[in-house]
């Protein structure tokens, strides 16, 4: 899993990915008209992360940049994305790009939950000519009040968690979003199809917010359960699609969240689907941990890296975003058809070729080193007149890091030179290292491009815990 010492905070993580995005895609800061940040890692109750990022724009003289921070647990990055897409398709859009940043440092008190933490940030560029299309007219959200996971203690980075309720809320939100998505998709996507209802069969891949990997497998099984219940005449014969599930037809979804028999049956039933549609999306989650807001988009980068230019055009990818409290949305992406050399899709796929190499290039440390780093963060959280003591030697080239917090809590940062250490990120990654999403509405107008798919690997060391 990824973690940070006292040398990195949410501002430094976001500074790193935004500058990398701009540099690698050879974009001018003058061409950015909106900057949105989604995070739940709060180090100031008034000053936003976005305003800290504006120091990157100073040399360009561009201060006409809309947008601000969005906060709701792990959902903030998705809402920041939706805000940017709405701006690009509005009358306020002036033709410039929007940048969306999702970043967090997920830490837990000593105990069973601590290994489910993580850290990372992903920057996304919203603009024209993107290879991934955000499908229009099918997005479905479900918002509800619950105290499943929250952070009421402003003096601590650690959350208060009701574990059982959190799982129930997540699965309940997934049910509601999938049911709503399927109803909208029947109208918006199946007009010319011979299929009369939407099901998992029409997703080529499904990415989920990933608190931990086992929940993701259960979530895909949950969608298979929904398909089964919604099927008016499921084939439960020995050779049928739902063989062996005839005893589950009359289930009520709200009564099955912790039913082990149902869970086991549908995890078995959906195992092949999981292996092909979702397991590949867990590469980063498995090795970096739960990054909170960037989690879903790390899954997107992971699953795209498993395709080739020969088999990715036209694919549909389901995206389920969840943040405790709670807020959730299911939406989908469609890959464009043009994979010719030099095309945005070609650049995207080339940029993902070294994803595993980037992960492997991190430093692996003993659990005791991780525990010491967590103790250091706990002891120095919100100190003033403080100089961080964590090493900068293991930070990747181009990483921003904290150098000092003065007596008025003003934070100072610097950037590690891009050529300070050998790194596959700076020596082999293509210049145009881009992932893209495009709003499927007005052609050549509403698009989204996540930045380098593994920006978070540039700011985290790795623990074996």
User: What pairs with residue 316 in β-bridges?
Assistant: 334
From 4, 8, 14, 74, the catalytic residue: 74
Q: Is 209 a catalytic residue?
A: yes
CB 227 within 8 A of CB 220: no
Positive or negative: CA dihedral 402, 17, 291, 80: positive
Is 4 one of the annotated active-site residues of the chain? no
Contact (CB, 8 A) for 352 and 304: yes
Specify whether 14 is catalytic: no
Catalytic residue among 8, 14, 36, 40: 40
Closest Cα partner for 361 from 287, 417, 420?
A: 287
Catalytic residue among 209, 439, 447, 449: 209
- Asked whether 438 and 445 are in contact (CB, 8 A), the reply is no
CA-CA distance, 349 to 141, in Å (whole number)? 30
Instruction: Show which residues are catalytic.
Output: 40, 74, 209
């Amino acid at each position: 899993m990824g973690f940070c010492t006292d040398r990195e905070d949410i501002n430094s993580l976001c500074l790193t990915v935004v500058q990398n995005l701009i540099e690698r895609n050879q974009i001018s800061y003058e061409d950015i008209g909106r900057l949105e940040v989604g995070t739940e890692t709060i180090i100031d109750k008034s000053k936003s992360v976005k305003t800290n990022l504006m120091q990157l724009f100073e040399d360009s003289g561009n201060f006409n940049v809309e947008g601000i921070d969005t906060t709701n647990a792990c959902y903030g990055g998705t809402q920041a994305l939706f805000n940017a897409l709405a701006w690009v398709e509005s009358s306020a859009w002036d033709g410039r790009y929007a940048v969306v940043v999702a970043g967090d440092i997920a830490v837990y008190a000593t105990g069973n939950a601590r290994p489910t933490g993580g850290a990372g940030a992903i920057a996304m560029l919203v603009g024209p000519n993107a290879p991934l299309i955000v499908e229009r007219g099918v997005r479905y959200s479900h918002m509800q009040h619950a105290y499943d996971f929250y952070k009421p203690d402003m003096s601590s980075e650690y959350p208060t968690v009701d574990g059982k309720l959190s799982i129930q809320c997540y699965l309940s939100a997934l049910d509601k979003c999938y049911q709503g998505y399927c109803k909208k998709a029947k109208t918006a996507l199946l007009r010319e199809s011979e299929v009369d209802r939407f099901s998992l069969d029409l997703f080529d891949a499904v990415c989920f917010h990933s608190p931990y990997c086992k929940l993701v497998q259960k979530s895909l099984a949950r969608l298979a359960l929904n398909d089964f219940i919604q099927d008016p005449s499921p084939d439960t014969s020995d050779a049928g699609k739902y063989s062996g599930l005839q005893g589950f037809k009359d289930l009520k979804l709200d009564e099955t969240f912790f039913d082990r028999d149902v869970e086991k049956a549908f995890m078995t039933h959906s195992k092949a689907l999981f292996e092909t549609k979702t397991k590949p999306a867990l590469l980063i989650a498995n090795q970096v941990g739960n990054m909170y807001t960037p989690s879903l988009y790390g899954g997107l980068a992971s699953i795209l890296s498993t395709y080739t230019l020969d088999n990715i055009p036209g694919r549909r990818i389901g995206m389920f975003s969840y943040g405790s409290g709670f807020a959730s949305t299911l939406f989908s992406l469609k890959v464009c058809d043009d994979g010719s050399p030099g095309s945005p899709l070609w650049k995207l796929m080339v940029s993902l070729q070294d994803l595993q190499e980037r992960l492997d290039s991190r430093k692996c440390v003993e659990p005791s080193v991780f525990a010491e780093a967590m103790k250091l963060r706990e002891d120095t959280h919100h100190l003033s007149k403080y100089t961080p003591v964590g090493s900068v030697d293991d930070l990747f080239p181009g990483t921003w890091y904290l150098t000092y917090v003065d007596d008025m809590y003003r934070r100072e940062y610097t950037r590690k030179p891009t050529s300070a250490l050998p790194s596959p990120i700076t020596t082999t990654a293509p210049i145009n290292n881009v992932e893209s999403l495009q709003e499927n509405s007005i052609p050549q107008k509403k698009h989204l491009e996540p930045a380098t798919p593994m920006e978070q690997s540039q700011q985290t060391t790795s623990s074996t815990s």
